[in-house]
Amino acid sequence: MNTPNILTISRMIITPIFLAVFLIKAIPFHYAIALFLFIVGSLTDLFDGKIARKKGIVTNFGKFADPLADKMLTTAAILGFIEVGYCNIWILFIILFREFAISSMRLVAASDGVVIPANMWGKVKTTIQMVASIVIMLLLVLIFDFGLSIFETPLVIVSNVLLWLMAAATAISGIVYVIRGTKVIDFSK
């Protein structure tokens, strides 16, 4: 197993730990620890792709598992935001709808022997999801871990704006992906 794939798998392992820490209020500074874990997971996404391309070790496993690991991590953050009351369920629906649709297209393409890798729009979507999640968690840390209630009103506004931006970017990237994917999938089979 190569280094990029190890980083991808580590992101998958970090995800449930991140969500558990995020949700367990009995853990002192749980939002700060969760933020740290999320940042570590996000950095594995940054480095796995760079290393794979630089060393020429892009694999079919990586093409499939890397975006899956991203989806796991960002969905876990959104689930956490819903649980603490800072995310509308429709945002999650839009994101999951896109992810299921694209995953289905990838499976159909794979059955024809075609691997559809992540494209630039998917990378933009993932970056927006990760950055927005980090900003929201940082505000949660300031408010709940450090008692800076001055940030409560900005958190409500910022989380709404960032999460709807996240949903919009997700929808746009999904539309682009479907348009491009239909060009490589044989629908006659």
Give 64-121 pLDDT, tens digit per residue: 788 889 999 999 999 999 999 999 999 999 999 999 998 888 888 878 887 776 678 8
Cβ(73)–Cβ(132) below 8 Å: no
Measured distance CA(94)–CA(23) in Å, rounded? 23
Which is nearest to 92 in space by CA: 29, 100, 27, 50?
100
Q: What would the pLDDT profile of 146-183 be if each residue is shown by its tens digit?
A: 999 998 888 989 999 999 999 999 999 999 888 888 88
For 114, the 3-state DSSP assignment is coil
Measured distance CA(5)–CA(10) in Å, rounded? 8
- The pTM of the full predicted model, rounded to 2 decimals, is 0.90
Q: Where are the beta strands (DSSP E) in the chain?
A: none
- Asked whether residue 39 carries a pLDDT value surpassing 70, the answer given is yes
In the numeric block, which tokens belong to residue 163?
Answer: 């999460």
| Helices 120-140 and 152-181, packing angle to 10 deg | 170
What contacts 138, CB < 8 A, 6 or more positions away?
Answer: 35
Domain spanning 3-181, CATH class:
mainly alpha
